Amino acid sequence: MVALCTTLTFDACIFRRSAVDVANSDDDSVELDIANHNTLDVVVYNVRQGQRERIGDVTALSKASFVLHLNHYPAGEIQLFAHGIGSSRGVTSEVLHPFAGQTVEWTLENDMRRAFVMIRD
């Protein structure tokens, strides 16, 4: 009986691990590179159905990279929003449709209205 319980528990752990590994596999990943030329630290979000989902922070006058897994975004759609900490304004990118393995580069200028985005292979 103990051997059967141990086997079932072991099998359940293997199943759970493989499901997590598939969900976070690099096969669906996109790199997000952000260059913050702003004098404020910036918080970056993805906007989905009007809701903001925090991606991370980028320190003033620096760069940061994040890995996004497309299976977390419906239809692989990404729309970025950046908000300067201490500012009442932010900037939203257009809706992006990157493919796995591509890099999204978003440059935030000191005047955030001049931000631009590009997708590279």
Unique residue bearing structure tokens 């939203």: 92
Q: Domain ranges in the chain?
A: 27-120
- Quote the pLDDT of residue 74: 85
Question: What integer pLDDT is reported at residue 25 of this predicted model?
Answer: 53
Distances (CA, A) of 2 to 11, 15, 47, 94, 110: 14, 20, 49, 57, 65
pLDDT mean values, one per 10 residues, the chain (121 residues): 44 41 66 98 95 97 97 92 94 97 97 96 93
Q: What is the model's pLDDT at position 26?
A: 56
* Cα(106)–Cα(94) distance, integer angstroms: 11
CATH T-level assignment (fold) for domain 27-120: Immunoglobulin-like (2.60.40)
What end-to-end distance do the CA atoms of the chain give, in Å? Answer: 54
